[in-house]
A and B are shown apart, each in its own frame.
Chain A
């Protein structure tokens, strides 16, 4: 049926599709996740002691009425922004407000549920909290991606995030939470294991750059060596981490037993030495492969000009080839650093130390909060390293394209 040739009902359905198109698709997913977390999953888990099974509690059960309602109202507002507001700045502000509210709510809940002076009862963030935090974090990350910040802005944002988190931790905002209780017990070891972790990751990276860069240059200059070098490093890369640690135990142990100076500088079958060697071997392939790839993409015309104007081969390498290959080489460094920060965790298995120590102790004691005390800092470290090096690569690349 039609009126004056216009199908009836067409305008209404057209308006409806237009409105539907304006609803953010990611917003729908995030809202569903958030609603599930808030309604169906426990916000916190109350445990009689650190290894006892937990007693789930919802947000409304633990916070005073006004605080619970206020938090929920704010989250509904955030969901509305996620669904209907396209402006990235507004979305980012809403997501950050949501994250702050949820973090304060969990800290407050922990403080309320812990009886004064009781050091045995533990209040851990529940599945609902983690899901809410993930949804809000996803919303913030998406908003930042839509804003396309430059390298300097991204580093500033990371610094601001770390500063706020650091201040909150120093202020004691989260002290009643189970993870911070584990921290309080392990505070003296935490700093030294964290230092150890960073030292192992950076040390193996440094050694890999020192050897990998010349090896990459050699593989580039001598094409006949290239397949052999890369194939060998590829094989190393395929050995599982734990197997490689195991393989290294025997030769390093023998070395320590028979060569006095080796033992004197700390080489042993277990401990930091095999960890460092294994991480170094894993680091070589990305450094060498990216050095080769970086040198190969240097414009032949620029290189011809460099030689034609009278640069010696070393001058051409230092002044033209390496600077032009640097962004690709740094991408390799980024891969290695992020990979190593994660792999160092396994080094704890062979007595290498690092934050992995807490993870494996926690698994042994079925104390999940101790596992998180090791895991969360590792994630933050890896994330920070990735943001910093990505920004560096992009800043270098920008001046040239």
Chain B
């Protein structure tokens, strides 16, 4: 658990981060979203002390991060940034081994960890370990950046706009992969983005920031249904908030007993996707099936629409 308590940072007369407090749960993805200049990156960088706060403190599992040397703290915290920041003069394997190397791991342990990470990120170690960053595609570079951040089994992974440099299709895949990795390694992830869709898609909890202040910090559906103020409502999207809400719920969560003569839809599909399918086919209901194809129940357009309302 990470407890951020009254963090404030000023540069000259401008307050970049203004008295922010929040609690980040273990084994979850927390997304900090805001426009540029909202202070979201500065807030993230105060967690691993790349920026030292003016006042306030950060506790990781109850221990004040100010009480140990910054470089030792950072070796326990994964760090992935936009444009990956890979070292161009080091091979993929050497890049991934950076923190284990700093921590003085045995060479054999480093090798097996690098291999395991490359495999987990769908990069064949035999092909990629010896390559240099400039020989990789943008998506591959981004994955190596994530592998490097995860190399020393960090308690927390900080990500600053990690998908910012990717084109939309590759970004979609990278977001899926991140959800998969989070489940597999049970990592606590704090991610900064300016993209509200990305925030809702990835975040178990989303923090909305503007002008250095934390406006609201809650689960995505709460942000949509009960925005704290008009600014949050505007940022989370007034015009299509019903559709955003539908995108947050899966067919499996909304399914009701019964059968339908409509098409079959996967229980993992979002209500938004099911609704689109029904509109497209011109039918009123669908059968929800699980991964094995066994029927779970049905969904009607009326049931779906009910989920798109604030209460």
Interface set of A (CB-CB < 8 Å, partner B): 299, 301-302, 304-312, 315, 320, 323-324, 399-401
Contacts and interface: CB of A to CB of B under 8 A. Distances in A.
Contacts of A399: 89, 132
B86 A305 contact: yes
Given A305-B81, A308-B81, A320 B102 contact: no
B216 interface: no
Contacts of B15: none
Contacts of B87: 302, 305-306, 320, 324
A312 B88 CA distance: 19
Contacts of A323: 89
A302 B50 contact: no
Contacts of A311: 71, 98, 102
Contacts of A307: 50, 74
A400 B75 contact: no
Given A312-B71, A315-B102, A400-B134, 9 more contacts: A299-B85, A299-B88, A302-B87, A304-B50, A304-B81, A305-B79, A310-B72, A324-B88, A399-B132
Interface in B42-98: 48, 50, 71-76, 79, 81-89, 98
Interface in B93-114: 98-99, 102
A312 B84 CA distance: 20
A315 B98 CA distance: 11
Contacts of B74: 307-310
A400 B50 CA distance: 27
Given A309-B102, A401-B134, A302 B88 contact: yes
B86 A309 contact: no
A196 to B, nearest CB: 38
7 contacts: A299-B85, A302-B87, A305-B148, A307-B50, A309-B148, A323-B89, A324-B89
Given A310-B102, A400-B88, A400-B132, A301 B83 contact: yes
B190 to A, nearest CB: 13
Q: What 10 A-B pairs come out closest when comparing CB atoms?
A: A305-B85, A310-B75, A308-B79, A310-B74, A301-B85, A310-B71, A400-B88, A301-B83, A312-B71, A323-B89
Nearest to A313: B71
B60 to A, nearest CB: 14
Nearest to A326: B89
Interface residues of B, number: 27
Contacts of B88: 299, 302, 324, 400
* SS class, residues of chain A in contact with chain B: helix
Interface string B13-34: 0000000000000000000000
B84 A301 contact: yes
Contacts of A315: 102
Contacts of B79: 305, 308-309
A399 B72 CA distance: 31
Contact of B98 (A301, A309, A312, A324): A309
Given A302-B86, A400-B89, A309 B81 contact: no
A306 B86 CA distance: 9
A250 B81 CA distance: 58
Given A304-B50, A323-B89, A399-B89, A310 B83 contact: no
Contacts of A301: 81-85
A308 B132 contact: no
A317 to B, nearest CB: 13
B165 to A, nearest CB: 10
A302 B75 contact: no
A399 B88 CA distance: 9
A107 B158 CA distance: 74
Nearest to A303: B85
Interface string B125-143: 0000000101000000000
Contacts of B149: 309
A299 B145 CA distance: 15
Of A299, A308, A320, A400, most buried by chain B (CB within 10 Å of CB) is A308
A308 B102 contact: no
A148 to B, nearest CB: 20
Most buried by B among A306, A307, A309: A309
A304 B81 CA distance: 9
A308 B148 CA distance: 12
A304 B160 CA distance: 11
**Interface-central residue, B79, B84, B85, by most chain A CB under 10 Å:** B85
A306 B74 CA distance: 10
A302 B132 CA distance: 14
A298 to B, nearest CB: 9
Contacts of A310: 71-76, 99, 102
A301 B98 CA distance: 15
A310 B87 CA distance: 14
Contacts of B98: 309, 311
A320 B133 CA distance: 14
B50 A308 contact: yes
Nearest to A308: B79
Contacts of B72: 310
A299 B71 CA distance: 20
Nearest to A301: B85
Contact of B48 (A299, A308, A312): A308
